[in-house]
Amino acid sequence: MAETVVNFVLGKLGEMVVKEAQFLGEVGEKVKWVETELKRIKCYLTDADSKRRKGDARAENWLNELRDVAYRIEDATDIFYAEIEDKRRQRSQLLGATQKVGAQDH
């Protein structure tokens, strides 16, 4: 009976490891994409700021809109990091519980 439970838990842990690896791989690709896009935006910002200083109203408007988007991106990033930290905490608690069970067997 205990062996069945241990096998079940091992299977679940294996699934978690695979899902975590897939998640991290996808996140890494998306982070690289965002980094590339931000570098492009930085070039546009330099150009738009130069035009804004010369009195270009369209550039002023575009910079204001982009600032709003940047704040939304910052908020989304904060939420993302909070979710990652929550998952790390949950994983740590699961491993701690597993270690306690293992220590009781000895």
Residue 62 burial (10 A CB sphere; 0-12, 13-18, 19+):
middle
Say what the pTM is: 0.51
Where are the chain's structural domains? 29-92
Give the whole-angstrom CA distance, residue 17 versus residue 15.
5
Q: What's the token pair of residue 4?
A: 């069945």
Per-residue pLDDT of the chain (106 residues), as tens digits, is 667 766 777 787 778 777 877 777 787 788 888 888 888 888 888 888 899 899 999 988 988 888 888 888 888 888 988 888 888 888 788 777 767 666 665 5
